[in-house]
Amino acid sequence: MNTPFDEDPPPPPKKPGRFAGLRASFLTGIVVIAPVVLTIWLIWTLVGWVDGFVLPFVPDIYQPEYLINRFVLGNTRPDDAEWVHFNIRGVGVIVFLVFTLLVGWVAKGLIGRSLIRYGESLVDRMPVVRSIYSGVKQIAETVFAQSERSFEKACLIQYPRKGIWAVGFISTQAKGEVADKAQISEDMLSVFVPTTPNPTSGFLLFFPRSDVIELDMTIEDAAKLVISAGLVYPGQNGKAITPDSEG
């Protein structure tokens, strides 16, 4: 029997309505479908852009439309009534890859290197073109020619001051004038400290080796941690730890 001083029992929890369940299912479907659709759309758009840029340089008699009509369907002229017009995506990408491989193979040889040096000597005599060419060449060499080199390990460093920790990526051991003029008794490491949520921008910092704590997580897991602003942590079994999955 309840007395006047007894508190009212808490109301029973409300069951989620049918609309709430449909909304949750819809959002889950969006999360699954959106990355797939965007990836396909980006690839399709990129391939179409490359085709539109490369195919105009291919002679008409070597275009896929001409070859198929001429040798498969037996049509001889584009003005024939039976001439089939179509567009095959990806042919320009194949042409571009084959052409790039041939240029790279020639450039590695003695004749190719001589032609490149001669061409660059001509470019150096053109004031405006020289600046554009040197800038584009530096970017291309940094992005592509050094693609075989990557960060060594993920690490923890105290930045921007003592007591504040940041995730960084160890590039290499500091060398040359930077290492000589630092005037410290131990080796220095060059560490790239990325920004969130865009890890392609950041700061290049040099730390004594003793101030750098190497992490066991992979470079990919550390990048996910930075991009997610600390919401996704690498798990011990290869699974990410999110706030919802904690205990």
Of 169 and 69, the structure prediction assigns the larger pLDDT to 169
Average pLDDT over residues 198-208: 89
Per-residue confidence band for 7, with pLDDT thresholds at 50, 70 and 90 = low
End-to-end CA distance of the chain: 39
Tokens of 221: 């897991």
148, pLDDT greater than 60:
no
Residue whose token pair is 């890859």: 97
Average pLDDT over residues 73-100: 77
| Cis preceding linkage at 11, omega within 30 | no
CA distance 186 to 147: 29
Using one digit for the tens of pLDDT, what is the confidence trace for 13-61? 656 566 777 888 888 889 889 889 999 999 999 998 998 888 888 887 7
165, pLDDT greater than 50:
yes
Average pLDDT over residues 195-217: 91
Among residues 164, 178, 236, 243, the alpha carbon closest in space to that of 208 is found at 178
Among residues 208, 225, 196, 140, the alpha carbon closest in space to that of 170 is found at 208
pLDDT given for residue 194 in this prediction? 92
| Cα angle 235-236-242, degrees, rounded to a multiple of 5 | 15
Using one digit for the tens of pLDDT, what is the confidence trace for 89-117? 888 888 889 998 998 888 888 888 888 88
Per-residue confidence band for 120, with pLDDT thresholds at 50, 70 and 90 = confident
Please give the share of the chain, as a percent, with pLDDT higher than 90.
22
Tokens of 68: 């198929």
